[in-house]
Amino acid sequence: MFRKKGEGYLTAKESRRISKENRKITEEFEKKRKRKNVPESEYITQMRDPNNEVEFDDLHSYFYTDAGVVKSVDGVTFDVPIGKTVGIVGESGCGKSVTSLSLMQLLQRPQGQIVSGEIRLNRGGKVYNIANTPQEIMQDLRGNAVSMIFQEPMTSLNPVFKIGDQVDEVIALHEGKGKSKEEIRRQTIEALELVGIANSEGVANMYPHELSGGMRQRVVIAMALACHPRVIIADEPTTALDVTIQAQILDLLRDLKSKINASIMLITHDLGVIAEMADYVVVMYAGRIVEKGTAEDIFYHPAHPYTLGLMASKPVVGREVSELYSIPGKVPNPVNMPNYCYFRDRCEMKMSCCDGDYPCEIRLSDTHVVSCYRYYEEHKEEAERTANANLLQTARMAAAGEEVKGDA
């Protein structure tokens, strides 16, 4: 027999077996996705709370890679209320972007799939469950009800088309019925002016390479806002820009939000940006939410050791330190995650009970939720209730699975 090589090592045979299995699973998903004339009942649903714009409910988005299944988003639940900004923080690879791409159905298929859970999108009259919405309907929602600002302004505009044409395209697609080219172009110019581009007519006739990074990000934002979306996903909108431009872009986003009253999902690893912009904060770690609450909850009463670590690792104006704090260790391998608190091995407040199953959600207040064993004692009753409910659900799901197998 071979000796067991280091973690993550796969023999060719294992790798082949994995990719064969993956192909089987993803083909199943793709088949389901490619059906024609899906009945509305499959994707029209009800909001839990009509004051929410988007509800993520136990979302699981997996990537079927040749090294194994990566559970990038593994049971994420949070709400985006109408007209509010929700900040999502966490380190690279914790599933922030995958969560937002799931909402757009833009995961790299066929490897990336929404496996289970619901994403409910409130469109006034109708509520869509994005996880089951067919492609054609999705194309109507993208850029129209939900739009996205990407993190790389340098590469997220097509280099061979003029700025104006690229903005025209999205307007013509969603709001262009019965409009002439001139009217669409006028709307484009308005959109460019809205994001503070001077000489907007000149810029509309330029190619992306003729603009600076900050200008391009403004164009991307104009494109995202052109059709008055209800939800804007801003995926690290300031990462690639220098600080002055960052401040300008953030001011712009805040201004625009008050003008158009849309909900914003702001993804970033910059806690400063979150503090300035967000009403609610979701802290993610390794594909799960470890803590969520209002900005005040998170910044003034952080509860989870990971959040505490993040807070400690950011520089504070007026306090002099020789070295910034950093959380020890590294993120666990995303393939084959263990069933215990993912943060356990890096946690400096580890207790004996931490060796148990993944901690369930504990409600510290009406808005503040944390997944950590340290709060089990104070909220014992609630913890047990949730844990039991979880067990029940798992059992139900297992039973449902059995049934399906029985049918087959």
- Applying CB under 8 A, which residues contact another protein? 104, 106, 135-136, 138-144, 147-148, 150, 152, 155-162, 169-170, 173-174, 207, 209, 220, 223
Closest of 107, 103, 101, 104 to residue 30, by C-alpha: 107
Distance CA 357, CA 384 (A): 13
Given the complex with another protein, which of 207 and 340 has the nearer CB atom?
207
Distance CA 269, CA 310 (A): 10
Q: Angle between the 163-175 and 213-225 helix axes, to the nearest 10 degrees?
A: 10
The CA–CA distances, whole Å, from 156 to 106, 109, 148, 232, 317 equal 14, 19, 11, 16, 34
Q: Answer yes or no: are the C-beta atoms of 328 and 308 closer than 8 Å.
A: no
Given the complex with another protein, which of 136 and 403 has the nearer CB atom?
136
Q: Answer yes or no: are the C-beta atoms of 277 and 85 closer than 8 Å.
A: yes
Convert 37-58 to b/e letters by CB count within 10 Å (16 or more is b).
Answer: ebeeeebebeeeeeebbbbbbe
Closest of 148, 114, 122 to residue 46, by C-alpha: 122
Q: How far is the CB of 300 from another protein (least distance, A)?
A: 35
For residue 323, what are the contacts with CB-CB under 8 A and spacing of at least 6? Answer: none
Residue bearing tokens 């391998």? 333
Given the complex with another protein, which of 12 and 160 has the nearer CB atom?
160
Q: How far is the CB of 158 from another protein (least distance, A)?
A: 4
Given the complex with another protein, which of 132 and 147 has the nearer CB atom?
147
Query: Where in 187-235 does DSSP place strands (E)?
Result: 231-235
Q: How far is the CB of 100 from another protein (least distance, A)?
A: 10
Given the complex with another protein, which of 162 and 379 has the nearer CB atom?
162
Q: How far is the CB of 334 from another protein (least distance, A)?
A: 20
Given the complex with another protein, which of 122 and 151 has the nearer CB atom?
151
Q: How far is the CB of 401 from another protein (least distance, A)?
A: 29
Q: Answer yes or no: are the C-beta atoms of 224 and 156 closer than 8 Å.
A: no
Q: How far is the CB of 74 from another protein (least distance, A)?
A: 23
Pairing of strands 68-81, 369-370: unpaired
Residue type, 206: M
Given the complex with another protein, which of 211 and 360 has the nearer CB atom?
211
Q: Answer yes or no: are the C-beta atoms of 109 and 30 closer than 8 Å.
A: yes
Q: How far is the CB of 228 from another protein (least distance, A)?
A: 14
Tokens representing residue 379 in the block = 């909220």
Q: How far is the CB of 186 from another protein (least distance, A)?
A: 19
Distance CA 214, CA 194 (A): 15
Given the complex with another protein, which of 131 and 146 has the nearer CB atom?
146
Closest of 74, 269, 240 to residue 156, by C-alpha: 240
DSSP-derived letter for residue 382 is H
Q: How far is the CB of 173 from another protein (least distance, A)?
A: 6
Q: Answer yes or no: are the C-beta atoms of 17 and 67 closer than 8 Å.
A: no
Given the complex with another protein, which of 38 and 138 has the nearer CB atom?
138
Given the complex with another protein, which of 104 and 278 has the nearer CB atom?
104
Distance CA 151, CA 238 (A): 7
Q: How far is the CB of 109 from another protein (least distance, A)?
A: 11
Given the complex with another protein, which of 264 and 383 has the nearer CB atom?
264
Q: How far is the CB of 117 from another protein (least distance, A)?
A: 21
